[in-house]
Amino acid sequence: MSSTQSATRRILHNPNTVVSACHAKQLHAQIVKARATPHSHSLAWVCIIKCYTAYGLLRHSLATFNLMRASGVSPDRHVFPSLLKASTLLKHFPLAQSLHASAIRLGFHFDLYTANALMNVYSKFHPHLSANHVLDQFPRTHHYHNNYNNRNNANNNFTVKIDSVRKVFDRMPVRDVVSWNTVIAGNAQNGMYEEALDLVREMGRQTMRPDSFTLSSVLPIFAEHVDVVKGKEIHGYAVRHGFDKDVFIGSSLIDMYAKCTHVELSVRAFYLLSNRDAISWNSIIAGCVQNGRFDQGLGFFRLMLKKKVKPMQVSFSSVVPACAHLTALNLGKQLHGYIIRLGFDGNKFIASSLVDMYAKCGNIKMARYIFDRIEIRDRDMVSWTAIIMGCAMHGHALDAVSLFEMMLLDGVKPCYVSFIGVLTACNHSGLVDEGWRYFNSMQSDFGIAPGLEHYAAVADLLGRAGRLEEAYDFISNMAVEPTGSVWSALLAACRAHKNIELAEKVVDKILLVDPENMGAYVMMSNIYSAAQRWRDAAKLRVHVRKKGLKKTPGCSWIEVGNKVHTFLAGDESHPYYDKINEALKILLEQMEKEGYVLDTKEVLHDVDEEHKRDLLRTHSERLAIAFGIISTTAGTTIRVIKNIRVCVDCHTAIKFMAKIVGREIIVRDNSRFHHFRNGSCSCGDYW
């Protein structure tokens, strides 16, 4: 025997020495060339097949199996796990079925590793009903939970899938932890939580100790059911058995606590991990963002980068929305650049997050640019909804309606939020007939029951159009109990149309369902003040003080140089206040030359005219805009966020400011975005 043949035989008896696809091919070549082994010996064939599968050469693996059978060599029990894995990775279910049938004919279906591989196959596929035809050929050696297969939804594809896994499991004469974990995970991943938990209990009764994979499979169940008590029990078990430092368990615990709104416990579980991978980092970032802790989520993202952990694509789907909620455009742009450098910009989920972020941060042009670059086949309901809502909030009503119709033509079914977007667009542009049509189509055409947001949008749509009584009747006859927010939409319309009598009726409705609604008191007081009914306004303010309620102060903020600057009305605390005040005085002089006149009717206080003028000049958005003008280079777009509605006089003043300084000024109030340019606003003075 030559030295080459001897070496080949040694390798065949110790296949772990084959460490690469190249080595596997060389071994295969030597077997074919030197015939180191008799054709009747299956060990060589098995070794080659396993190596091909391990290194992703799946078609080579299957072709070698065919060659093996053609050579008259009978496969042994070691070959089927690799072949089944290859069929799973190739997503070729008929091939997996054929292999399953072959294993049954050869009597290898009782083999522990083959059965585990079969369960993995059926847990990964959405099989056709014919899967059960093959499975029913098993002899019934074991059968737990006799009623398992008698569920009413047995014809459901997911149920067929899990039934297939369970049939393999029930017929296994010997099971290991992998067997139990596969069937438990299959049930958990398909929402069959009770079955999964029953199997965990059964596993314990069979003296089989759950491992870290078992626990990480069942923890999402408690996350889904927001059952932190049972989640803590699993956590305690993990601690007692030393699993709590496991990165998979840790990530599952972080996710479970976050979904149960216990973010502080998520953070604690995260810091207890000795080794943190990208999944655990992403879990804590997502947990913070989903619970409204946007700054904390961004902080963890920065720390992850500092620790040299490369972000996953899903990491950006979690952190980009934080920038959207914080309206941190500069940071969002930096993340966008990083996404492009990593080559993740083609990911449709990240693209949808970017569309939403740019829209919420005031750059609707960039939002539309990114949306238009998403492949048509990749535009799902999330991306369509993001751009529709973005256009609606920026006053591009016709674009929003057109996009909604395009979505329908592309066969994408609108969701609850999609209708909020299109109704908001109609609302902001006075498209009453179109709004009614979309509202009525929700239930009749798409089976979506209107929610409070939809009712509020229609009520506001009717109110803005001056159809106040119609709006009142619409709210009174809602299918669900109207909340204070729905009535408040009509109250705002009563103020705009100076209908005091109806406003008083609406306020009574609001306070009936929400006695602490400070906004209703403030708006009614303003309605009285605008009508110069000072006594009624004063009486209402006294009532509010007795109840201990406080008005939310008007607040505006602007991002300059990666720092957010906040301003309150009349606020003199900013370090640049003197320069801001001087800039406002110069601007006011230029504005008055252009024809601007302060509208003191908007100052709803019983004070002298000069005091009213001073109050108007120092509204928070004016301070923020003036700071933006003196702090940025000429031509830079100024973006300001305000927590309450922009008043009529400030709206007029900002149109003059934008024209004088030759810049676009974007102001987002609690209703929408206003784009001021060349003396006009995108809302067309309808807001």
Measured CA distances, 641 to 359, 555, 628, 635 (Å)? 13, 8, 12, 19
Q: How far apart are CA 676 and CA 656, in angstroms?
A: 9
Stretch 43-66: mean pLDDT, rounded?
A: 87
Whether the predicted pLDDT of 325 surpasses 50: yes
Q: Which of 331-335, 458-462, 602-606, 607-611 has the lowest mean pLDDT?
A: 602-606
Stretch 7-19: mean pLDDT, rounded?
A: 67
**3-state secondary structure string, 264-293?**
HHHHHHHHHCCCCCHHHHHHHHHHHHHCCC
Residues paired with residue 674 on neighbouring β-strands, in sequence order: 667
Q: Which of 29-38, 150-159, 272-281, 667-676 has the lowest mean pLDDT?
A: 150-159
Stretch 91-99: mean pLDDT, rounded?
A: 87
Residue 478 included in any domain: no
Between these two residues, 683 and 7, which has the higher pLDDT value?
683
- The percent of residues above 70 in pLDDT, for the chain, comes to 88
Stretch 591-596: mean pLDDT, rounded?
A: 94
Average pLDDT value for the chain:
85
Whether the predicted pLDDT of 340 surpasses 70: yes
* AA letter at 597: V
Measured CA distances, 283 to 148, 223, 253, 276, 316 (Å)? 34, 13, 9, 11, 12
Q: How far apart are CA 388 and CA 365, in angstroms?
A: 13
The DSSP result for 210-275, as a single string, is P-HHHHHHHHHHHHHTT-HHHHHHHHHHHHHTT-TT-HHHHHHHHHHHHHTT-HHHHHHHHHH-SS
Residue 615: pLDDT band (50, 70, 90) is: confident
Q: Which of 33-37, 201-205, 425-429, 599-603 has the lowest mean pLDDT?
A: 33-37
Q: Which of 167-171, 337-341, 387-391, 652-656 has the lowest mean pLDDT?
A: 167-171
Alpha carbon 653 to its chain's center: 38
Nearest to 439 by CA among 458, 461, 414: 458
The DSSP result for 54-83, as a single string, is HTT-HHHHHHHHHHHHHTTPPP-TTSHHHH
Whether the predicted pLDDT of 633 surpasses 80: yes
pLDDT at position 1: 55
Please say whether the beta carbons of 183 and 190 come within 8 A. no
pLDDT at position 72: 83
Residue 136 included in any domain: no
Residue 158: pLDDT band (50, 70, 90) is: very low
Q: Give Cβ neighbours of residue 102 (< 8 Å, ≥ 6 apart).
A: 75, 80
Token reading at 8: 């080949």
Residue 574 included in any domain: yes
Pairing mode of beta strands 673-677, 665-668 = antiparallel
pLDDT tens-digit series, residues 485-516: 899 999 999 998 999 999 999 999 999 999 98
Number of H helices, E strands in the chain: 35, 6
* AA letter at 621: E
Whether the predicted pLDDT of 32 surpasses 80: no
Whether the predicted pLDDT of 186 surpasses 70: yes
Q: What is the DSSP letter of 311?
A: P
Whether the predicted pLDDT of 21 surpasses 50: yes
Residue 324 included in any domain: no
Q: Which of 108-122, 292-306, 525-539 has the lowest mean pLDDT?
A: 108-122
Please say whether the beta carbons of 42 and 73 come within 8 A. yes
pLDDT at position 609: 60
Residue 5 included in any domain: no
Helix (H, G, I), strand (E, B) or coil at 524: helix
Nearest to 563 by CA among 338, 328, 361: 328
Token reading at 373: 């670059």
pLDDT at position 146: 32
Residue 422: pLDDT band (50, 70, 90) is: very high
Stretch 20-43: mean pLDDT, rounded?
A: 65
Classify the C-alpha dihedral 102-104-110-115 as positive or negative: positive
Residue 608 included in any domain: yes
Between these two residues, 520 and 602, which has the higher pLDDT value?
520
Residues paired with residue 641 on neighbouring β-strands, in sequence order: 557, 668
Residues paired with residue 676 on neighbouring β-strands, in sequence order: 665, 681
Between these two residues, 147 and 683, which has the higher pLDDT value?
683
Q: Which of 109-123, 142-156, 639-653 has the lowest mean pLDDT?
A: 142-156
Residues paired with residue 346 on neighbouring β-strands, in sequence order: none
Q: Which domain, by its residues, includes 591?
A: 556-681
pLDDT tens-digit series, residues 346-388: 999 999 999 999 999 999 999 999 999 999 999 999 999 999 9
Residue 611 included in any domain: yes
> How many structural domains does the chain have?
1
Token reading at 488: 């408040």
**3-state secondary structure string, 585-606?**
HHHHHHHHHCCCCCCHHHCCCC
- The percent of residues above 90 in pLDDT, for the chain, comes to 50
Q: Give Cβ neighbours of residue 271 (< 8 Å, ≥ 6 apart).
A: none
Q: How far apart are CA 236 and CA 270, in angstroms?
A: 16
Length of the chain: 687
Q: What is the DSSP letter of 573?
A: -
Torsion of CA 631, 634, 639, 644, to 10 degrees: 70
Residue 659 included in any domain: yes
